[in-house]
Amino acid sequence: MQCPACGSNEIIWDNKNGEIVCSNCGTIIDNIYYNGQNESESTEIISINNKFYKDDIQVKELRVKNFLKNNRIETKKIDQYEIILRSMLLDSQYKKIYKLLYDEGILSGLKAKSKLGLLIYFRFALNNGYLHLLEKFDIKNETLKKILKRIGRKRLTLLFDKLNEESDRI
């Protein structure tokens, strides 16, 4: 059986709620009807009413999340920028920049793509080499400029000074 909304084969037969649910997108694919007094007596005789509801997606997603949570099924997806960010942190320069930005509270609330843009900026800003890398990772310069504006010139100068101090010590 396949989900008609997303095409996933990850289908959950939730006998407790009487539904067939896609664990990928949360769509209730079908309702399960039991012919009999209780569930244990009627497990062999199951008829499915073929209904597909596109509305109430939030309710469906919540049900699936609760079901997965209660059954301890891991659902976290890692986005590509998070993977790139983690691999970049293997480099000592990027790791030092990340630590400083983290300690200063700048990375708080930012997505992996924005964090990646900031790391590239702080590593290559002095020679404008960052523009090419931003383009390569599909990070818009305008987005980075908004983040930098929020940080402020004075604070940016202090951050660059701290990075230079640390590199002079090494």
**Is-contact 11 24, C-beta < 8 A?**
no
Is 35 part of a structural domain of the chain? yes
Question: Which range marks the domain in which residue 105 is found?
Answer: 80-169
Within a 10 A sphere around the Cβ of 74, how many other Cβ atoms?
7
Tokens, residue 94: 């990027």
Exposure letters 81-101 (e unless 16+ CB within 10 A, then b): beeebeebeeeeebebbbebb
DSSP conformational letter for 127: G
pLDDT digits (tens, 9 = 90+) for 61-101: 677 777 767 766 555 556 788 888 888 888 888 899 999 99
Is 6 part of a structural domain of the chain? no
Instruction: Please check whether residues 66 and 107 belong to one and the same domain.
Output: no
Give the whole-angstrom CA distance, residue 32 versus residue 47. 6
Is 3 part of a structural domain of the chain? no
**Between the ranges 7-11, 50-54, 164-168, where is the mean pLDDT highest?**
7-11
Q: Give the global pTM.
A: 0.53
Provide the domain count of the chain. Answer: 2
